[in-house]
Amino acid sequence: MMMARKQDVRIPTYNISVVGLSGTEKEKGQCGIGKSCLCNRFVRPSADEFHLDHTSVLSTSDFGGRVVNNDHFLYWGEVSRSLEDCVECKMHIVEQTEFIDDQTFQPHRSTALQPYIKRAAATKLASAEKLMYFCTDQLGLEQDFEQKQMPDGKLLVDGFLLGIDVSRGMNRNFDDQLKFVSNLYNQLAKTKKPIVVVLTKCDEGVERYIRDAHTFALSKKNLQVVETSARSNVNVDLAFSTLVQLIDKSRGKTKIIPYFEALKQQSQQIATAKDKYEWLVSRIVKNHNENWLSVSRKMQASPEYQDYVYLEGTQKAKKLFLQHIHRLKHEHIERRRKLYLAALPLAFEALIPNLDEIDHLSCIKAKKLLETKSEFLKWFVVLEETPWDATNHIDNMENERIPFDLMDTVPAEQLYEAHLEKLRNERKRVEMRRAFKENLETSPFITPGKPWEEARSFIMNEDFYQWLEESVYMDIYGKHQKQIIDKAKEEFQELLLEYSELFYELELDAKPSKEKMGVIQDVLGEEQRFKALQKLQAERDALILKHIHFVYHPTKETCPSCPACVDAKIEHLISSRFIRPSDRNQKNSLSDPNIDRINLVILGKDGLARELANEIRALCTNDDKYVIDGKMYELSLRPIEGNVRLPVNSFQTPTFQPHGCLCLYNSKESLSYVVESIEKSRESTLGRRDNHLVHLPLTLILVNKRGDTSGETLHSLIQQGQQIASKLQCVFLDPASRSWLGIAGLGPRARQDFCLCGRDLER
């Protein structure tokens, strides 16, 4: 029973008529006062359904259509609302206007011929089969819109909304409007129906007009006034709910909110909805190639999307989406631009590293020079369309090459200038390093062992001092100190050799006394080579003691050149690379058990092999024997300088089985000859039982060209030789190994003289 009674409760329905200044352009100006927009916003509050253009100038056919139905009023339809007291109600909205003929620009003739003021105050409206009005586009196309008729073709008006336009209307005098409204109010008052004054277009309101409108309302029995803006959707619902409260006294009284306070609330609501919608878009849309159609479908079920579209409309939602897409695209392009600009200095270093080539070129001329480089397309891509950031190239993630038209931009020009400056600074630093080295070499203040802290004060005022870092100066200074210290030590050793008689009277294996050391220092003290080591006294004394030991024990262990002593190198070479006769067939052994036999192949080009063979034979005894530390070896030498595949140049013969091979080179060509000859010799014995040539001990030796002082060429040949030796798995000897073969046969006493005058013999 309770449920049945609740269902039987009828929802109250109120019929509201919206009236205000209407007529021809002469009466109302070029535009209306906003009655239609007010009704539109209230009946269909969604932003997508709100239309600003509701013309009153119609053709005869449109006026006679079922929507207008030959009436000077519009039926806007039925609206359900829950007002402030949370009780639901229904409202039927009509708008009293005056339609103008587009031919005569005079009001259309209708069944009701009364003037607008009298007609607008009608409380009984009838129009058979009249359709609900949506917008101007509906006229003539009624079948494309929902066709809902006015209830029973009749409406009894319960109250009026009296509109006053407070904006600066075109060709309209506000005082004339107020006079019209005053007359209209007098007619409405006769109906005894509630009236609420609605100020329209307050978003463009003139302060005086608003003030005068309030004064008018106060003068007419203290009428309720609601300040509205249909365009901004401010206080529209409040105007209708205020009238409903006046119609139905049982409802709670509505609080009237001033326009600017209501506008602030509306703006906050829109701002909140916008923030939520933008968050939704940023969460869903991660790629700048997304399109609105697919994304809007994804978002349709989201309340963030629905709320914002309701308040601001689909077009504004789409605009925010496009702004987000534009922002994503801009960020993507900027990331690509940063990658390209980061790669540009590397491209400059690879393609134009030579300052002499570009020092005089502008960025435009340098761009033309880049195109001529062989590796240009490795670094750059030339696009058919430009600029690059407006083409599909921005999405070609696999192509990391730099768009060439980027060179026309200011950042690229700045990077080119920075590249130029870098090359100039590098050249300047190289010059300053050289100047610093030359300064060290010529400065009389830089002596062996002087600390950097003391030396720095002598160079701080030089031009080069401001160009390099402290660590660079210290490194160069450290290397220079090592060079002059080594040279000073070497010269001091020569000084000791020149004064050998000072050490002959010392006792064998005895450490010299302080007096004897004093005598030695007194004798040598005036020598510049002695003074050069005054900051390295401990090392100088150690050299004296070492020399004393060498005088009485002239061996490779006590040699001043140790660990570069040639005796030690030769001994190690022979013991590690040559195979002794005890490991070979009996036919290769000598009749004398105290003599070992060594068969050596000497491989060289352009006379190198023959020259070394002659020098070795010159060091041997008359019967081709060579003595090292009391051990005698019989040498048999086979110099080869031609094609090793020919029998005359073969490594082995029926009477000659090589025990090792000395490979000589002094140029790239001679090194290539050595490598090719070794490979040919090994290939010729593959598959044979006697393939010991594959494992034949090899020694690769770099021979100085006489008169060659090119350090760079020598350094390059050493590097190449080391690489080949590593590949062939053999020993490598360079010019720093000294004259190992020439020294090997010297006796202990003669070696002391060699340290003074024979140290730098050529091979």
CATH number, domain of 49, equals 3.40.50.300
**Cα–Cα distance measured from residue 183 to residue 223, given in angstroms and rounded to the nearest whole number:** 15
The predicted structure's pLDDT at residue 337: 94
Structure-block tokens of residue 116 = 């607008």
Bridging pattern class, strands 698-702 and 13-20 = unpaired
Show which of 513, 548, 578 is a domain's final residue. 578
**Cα–Cα distance measured from residue 458 to residue 92, given in angstroms and rounded to the nearest whole number:** 103
Bridging pattern class, strands 88-96 and 73-82 = antiparallel
The predicted structure's pLDDT at residue 539: 86
Show which of 394, 426, 458 is a domain's final residue. 426
Say whether 445 sits in a helix, a strand or coil. Answer: coil
At 112, which helix (H) or strand (E)?
A: none
Structure-block tokens of residue 647 = 């029998």
Task: Name which of 397, 469, 406 is nearest 436 in CA terms.
Answer: 469
CA end-to-end span of the chain: 130
CB 14 within 8 A of CB 159: yes
Whole-angstrom CA distances from 381 to 363, 370, 574 are 18, 12, 61
Considering the entire predicted model, what is its pTM? 0.61
The answer on 231 and 91 residing in a single domain is: yes
Residue 133 belongs to a domain: yes
Structure-block tokens of residue 437 = 């080295």
For residue 167, list its beta bridge partners: 205
The predicted structure's pLDDT at residue 101: 87
The answer on 447 and 422 residing in a single domain is: no
Kindly calculate the radius of gyration of the chain based on its CA atoms and give it in whole angstroms: 55
**Cα–Cα distance measured from residue 609 to residue 603, given in angstroms and rounded to the nearest whole number:** 6
The answer on 634 and 572 residing in a single domain is: no
Task: Name which of 143, 5, 6, 20 is nearest 73 in CA terms.
Answer: 20
Structure-block tokens of residue 298 = 């994804």
Detail the DSSP E strand segments found in 355-424.
380-381, 402-403
Residue 8 belongs to a domain: no
**Cα–Cα distance measured from residue 12 to residue 544, given in angstroms and rounded to the nearest whole number:** 126
Structure-block tokens of residue 467 = 């160009």
The answer on 461 and 392 residing in a single domain is: no
**Cα–Cα distance measured from residue 608 to residue 674, given in angstroms and rounded to the nearest whole number:** 12
Task: Name which of 222, 232, 216, 142 is nearest 180 in CA terms.
Answer: 216
Residue 51 belongs to a domain: yes
**Cα–Cα distance measured from residue 648 to residue 639, given in angstroms and rounded to the nearest whole number:** 11
Contact partners, residue 143, CB within 8 Å, separation at least 6: none
The answer on 623 and 559 residing in a single domain is: no
Residue 290 belongs to a domain: no
Say whether 143 sits in a helix, a strand or coil. Answer: helix
Whole-angstrom CA distances from 362 to 367, 368, 373 are 9, 10, 17
The predicted structure's pLDDT at residue 271: 96
The structural domain count of the chain equals: 4
Print the domain residue range for 519.
443-578
The predicted structure's pLDDT at residue 121: 93
Say whether 679 sits in a helix, a strand or coil. Answer: helix
User: In this predicted model, what pLDDT tens digit does every residue of 659-717 receive, in sequence order?
Assistant: 889 999 988 899 999 999 888 888 877 666 666 677 788 899 988 765 555 666 888 88
The answer on 203 and 89 residing in a single domain is: yes
The answer on 536 and 617 residing in a single domain is: no
The predicted structure's pLDDT at residue 586: 42
Residue 219 belongs to a domain: yes
Residue 282 belongs to a domain: no
**Cα–Cα distance measured from residue 721 to residue 670, given in angstroms and rounded to the nearest whole number:** 11
Amino acid at 279: W
Say if residue 145 is exposed, middle or buried (CB neighbours under 10 Å; 0-12, 13-18, 19+). middle
**Cα–Cα distance measured from residue 207 to residue 153, given in angstroms and rounded to the nearest whole number:** 42
Start-end of H helices in 499-565: 514-524, 528-531, 537-552
Residue 202 exposure: Cα atoms within 13 Å on the Cβ side = 25
**Cα–Cα distance measured from residue 452 to residue 474, given in angstroms and rounded to the nearest whole number:** 7
Residue 306 belongs to a domain: no
Output DSSP code: residue 73: E
The answer on 459 and 400 residing in a single domain is: no
At 354, which helix (H) or strand (E)?
A: none
The answer on 669 and 700 residing in a single domain is: yes
**Interior CA angle at 252 toward 250 and 255, to 5°?**
145
Residue 195 belongs to a domain: yes
| List of the chain residues with pLDDT < 70 | 1-9, 84-86, 111-112, 458-465, 504-511, 553-558, 560-595, 622-623, 628-630, 686-692, 705-712, 736-763
Structure-block tokens of residue 728 = 């062939």
The answer on 79 and 166 residing in a single domain is: yes
Mean pLDDT rounded to a whole number for the chain: 84
| Crossing angle for the helix pair 537-552 and 514-524, to the nearest 10 degrees | 100
Show which of 257, 282, 316 is a domain's final residue. 257
The answer on 456 and 345 residing in a single domain is: no
Cβ atoms within 10 A of the Cβ of 594, count?
Answer: 8
The answer on 149 and 23 residing in a single domain is: yes
**Cα–Cα distance measured from residue 481 to residue 475, given in angstroms and rounded to the nearest whole number:** 10
The predicted structure's pLDDT at residue 508: 54
